[in-house]
Amino acid sequence: MSKIKELGEFGLIHHLSSRLKFRASDSVLGIGDDCAVYPVKSGVYEVISTDAMVEGIHFKLSTTTPEALGRKALSVSLSDIAAMGGTPKRALVTLGISKKISVSFLDRMYAGFNEISNQFKVEIVGGDTVSSPKCFFINVSVIGEAKRVFTRRGARPGDHIFVTGTLGDSSLGLKLLNKKKKGDHKFLIERHLDPTPRVHETGILARSRINITSMIDISDGLVQDLYHICKASKIGARIYEDRLPQSLEFSRICSGNSISPLPLILNGGEDYELLFTLPADGVKNLNRQFLKAKAIVTQIGEIVLKPRKISLEMRDGTTKTLPQSEGFNHF
């Protein structure tokens, strides 16, 4: 019998899901993507996902505000709906309340929930409150709707790989947040504490005629999440160092403090950007569609035949094979 720590997050999910024997006949997707998917009426699917955040693992009460915590708890769940091409509709919130949590803390956290709920038109329709002996935790489940569902399976050799936004900001923000001497790094710290789920951007893609062949949101880091697409689609990927999108603030702080940017961009995690693939003939249309979006899109590489192998072409012309990182091992 293996230990949970040895299994890691994905090993544990696989281990547990293999125990489950009942499957509803109308399930389109069960465990193994960003959401489960099932049809609700002709041409419309429901997509459903849940995400928990635990004090001491996902956040510290000393480095965030209750408002930001509420915003993030809902946003990260919305990001999984976005990763499937869905529009979020309703959410359930469960709180594990420890002794140090006050009503005024919760009021402020709910102000954060309200902002995201209004912004993305998601109604919070229920949940549960329990007491938790030590650590505060929040679990948010979200149900959304999709007419077209984007999954991790379907990328084909020759497809172009795109990401929205910029990479590495969140993990650099976390690094700065944990520093004793804090400078003014509002942008990067906010990218960590208050990420924007790419709901509008996935809506643009879902309404377009672009043939999106696979999609995931970047929660564990670019390489780890690209690996999920490679594994599900049975293909590999080649990405280019000089195309990986960085914010000006990220580049400035990295170069000013001798921080190596590449590990943060490749494995940092919690960017909550969309990573997706499409055939070359859709690229022009994609760029046209994104002229009106808030987030940029960048082509970072191509899908290749070799299964599960991700290679990185460096600026100096050399090529590295990227090991599948373990992502963030909570256990």
Two tokens, residue 227:
């690996």
Per-residue x/- marks for Mg ion, 283-322, CB under 5 A?
----------------------------------------
Q: What Cα–Cα distance (Å) separates residue 180 from each residue in 130, 176, 275, 285, 287?
A: 34, 9, 34, 47, 42
Of 29-37, 63-71, 137-145, 274-282, the window that binds Mg ion (rule: CB under 5 A) is 29-37
Closer CB to Mg ion, 50 or 114, in the complex: 50
Least distance in Å: CB of 161 to Mg ion?
Answer: 17
Cα angle 94, 218, 186 (rounded to 5 degrees) comes to: 80
Per-residue x/- marks for Mg ion, 202-231, CB under 5 A?
---------------x-x------------
Least distance in Å: CB of 283 to Mg ion?
Answer: 24
Contacting Mg ion (CB under 5 A), which of 80, 271, 273, 302? 80
When asked if residue 34 is in the footprint of Mg ion (CB under 5 A), the reply is yes
Closer CB to Mg ion, 75 or 101, in the complex: 75
Closer CB to Mg ion, 67 or 270, in the complex: 270
Closer CB to Mg ion, 218 or 297, in the complex: 218
Least distance in Å: CB of 108 to Mg ion?
Answer: 27
Size of the site for Mg ion (CB under 5 A): 4
Of 30-38, 55-63, 103-111, 204-212, the window that binds Mg ion (rule: CB under 5 A) is 30-38
Of 38-46, 76-84, 167-175, 291-299, the window that binds Mg ion (rule: CB under 5 A) is 76-84
Least distance in Å: CB of 214 to Mg ion?
Answer: 13
**Residue sitting closest to Mg ion (CB):** 34
Given a contact cutoff of 8 angstroms between Cβ atoms, the answer to whether 211 and 279 are in contact is yes
Least distance in Å: CB of 226 to Mg ion?
Answer: 13
Least distance in Å: CB of 217 to Mg ion?
Answer: 4
Least distance in Å: CB of 234 to Mg ion?
Answer: 20
Measured between its terminal Cα atoms, the distance across the chain in Å is 16
Least distance in Å: CB of 107 to Mg ion?
Answer: 29
Least distance in Å: CB of 281 to Mg ion?
Answer: 28
Please say whether the dihedral angle defined by the alpha carbons of residues 234, 311, 14 and 151, taken in this order, is positive or negative: negative
Closer CB to Mg ion, 67 or 201, in the complex: 201
Two tokens, residue 194:
């208050």
Contact set for Mg ion, span 137-176 (CB under 5 A): none
Closer CB to Mg ion, 34 or 194, in the complex: 34
Closer CB to Mg ion, 66 or 86, in the complex: 86
Chain residues binding Mg ion by CB under 5 A are 34, 80, 217, 219
